[in-house]
Amino acid sequence: MAQIQAMFKAFITDVNDENGVFQQFSEGTTQFLFFLVKWVGIPFFIIVLIAFLKL
């Protein structure tokens, strides 16, 4: 139980840090997801829109 409390305390300290590992991981994940939406979602939407307009 003490190990779990120590892990949570370290995690909370890392989250409260401006340049923490968790924040860097979250930022990288968010940037990757935005990249996917931008380069996969927008062309897919355009293709679907063109197909819909041809009906």
SS (H, E, C) the chain: CHHHHHHHHHHHHHHHCCCCHHHHHHHHHHHHHHHHHHHHHHHHHHHHHHHHHCC
* Residue 44: per-residue pLDDT: 93
Which tokens is 1 given?
Answer: 């139980």
* Residue 34: per-residue pLDDT: 96
Cβ–Cβ < 8 Å for 23, 17: yes
Give the tens place of pLDDT for each residue, 4-48.
Answer: 999 999 999 988 988 899 999 999 999 999 999 999 999 999 999
* Residue 17: per-residue pLDDT: 86
pTM: 0.65
